[in-house]
Amino acid sequence: MSALKVALGAEALGLRLDAALVAALQRQGRSCSRSQLARAFAAGHVRIGGVSAGKPARLVDAEVEVELELSDPEPMRAVAEDLPLRVVHEDVDLLVIDKPAGMVVHAGPGHERGTLVNAVLHYLGKRAADLPVLRGNDATRPGIVHRLDRDTSGLIVVARTERAQEGLAAMFRVHDLRRRYLGVVWGVPGFTKKTLRTRHGRDPGDRRRFSPHVDEGREAVTHMQVLRPLKDAALLEFTLETGRTHQIRMHCRMLGHPIVADAMYGGMGGPPSRRALAAELGRHALHAAQLGFRHPVSGVELDFTAPLPPDLSHLLEQLGISGQVAS
């Protein structure tokens, strides 16, 4: 059982108390499932001014402090689900998958089903019993050695054996892979090529987001190249030297050229024409187009590419590029 105090301000006015608490906890970098909150309300463990809040109602006061006791989350277990899965490469040690936008890689609060892991378990069937779990991970992440954001499409590698998982994990630790992304940003940058080296840490104003403007943090290095200037936008290629969470998205926001439709990093604003395109796309315009590495068991050099998905190709057509863009 965890006891917390959560301060709700004007941003919560008019929201239901449960929704306001979830948003506030996320800003603090805490996770809370709907079932945890439902149990807390039912048990009278959500209190305002020392009095049980009862059922979650809409907030009418702008400044409220909520006392909250949360039970420990029930352990999650990955289960097989029959979901579409585009396998680019398969051998006895690993899979390379072209992940669609909108699919979470592994389970977490609010995302127990519909993940890449669920799809992989179904695809492998009985063979999934041998999927390894990386040290430090839980049972919801079999075979996972890295991840892509939910709304980033493109290539991800999954380990099928312990020897492959250990080898791949070592490569990711020392950044000994080739990772190239394609993204569409708002505005046309004033450079052809650029390398950004910054710090990377949680944004103190919103713990869901990352920022280069932190006192302490790990180094984040992104190499950028403008491939095609467009109408009020540009197609960029990003090559990762490090692979921090939201690294490309953070760096684009820092430059004043956010990824199109990236709501968390400023890609939904601007004039009505921009907002309409972003709303139609419905996800940030970022795609993991290339993944290359030395096979962790055989030592053979592997290189994979994934074409732009139809939604990003359509966006480029709307912005002035017709035809297929090379991945």
Tokens 């962790």, residue? 296
User: Which residues share a beta bridge with 179?
Assistant: 291
At 120, list the tokens: 């992989």
| Sequence-distant (≥ 6) Cβ neighbours of residue 221 within 8 angstroms | 195, 196, 197, 240, 241, 242
Angle at 102 between CA 194 and CA 28, to 5 degrees: 75
- Is pLDDT of 99 > 80? yes
Active site residue 311: no
Give the pLDDT mean for 93-122.
90
Residue-wise burial string across 106-118, b where 16 or more C-beta atoms lie within 10 A, e elsewhere: bbebebbeebbbb
Q: Check residue 73 and report its DSSP letter.
A: P
Domains of the chain: 2-70 (3.10.290.10), 86-174 (3.30.2350.10), 178-319 (3.30.2350.10)
pLDDT over 70 at 107, yes or no: yes
20: pLDDT strictly greater than 90: no
Please tell me the distance from the alpha carbon of residue 270 to that of residue 276, in angstroms, as a whole number: 10
Predicted local distance difference test score (pLDDT) of residue 183? 98
Contact 144, 158 (CB under 8 A): yes
Determine which one of 18, 93, 98, 149 is catalytic. Answer: 149
The pLDDT value given to residue 75: 58
The confidence band for 51, taking pLDDT boundaries of 50, 70 and 90, is confident
The three-state secondary structure class of 293 is strand
pLDDT, position 133: 86
**Does residue 144 contact residue 172 with C-beta atoms inside 8 Å?**
no
pLDDT band at residue 11 using 50, 70 and 90 as cut-offs = confident
Sign of the CA dihedral running 136, 141, 144, 150: negative
The per-residue pLDDT of the chain, averaged, comes to: 89
Quote the pLDDT of residue 1. Answer: 60
Cut 0.95: pTM above it: no
User: Cα–Cα distance between 175 and 308 in angstroms, integer?
Assistant: 24
Residue 18 corresponds to which tokens in the numbers above?
């449960």
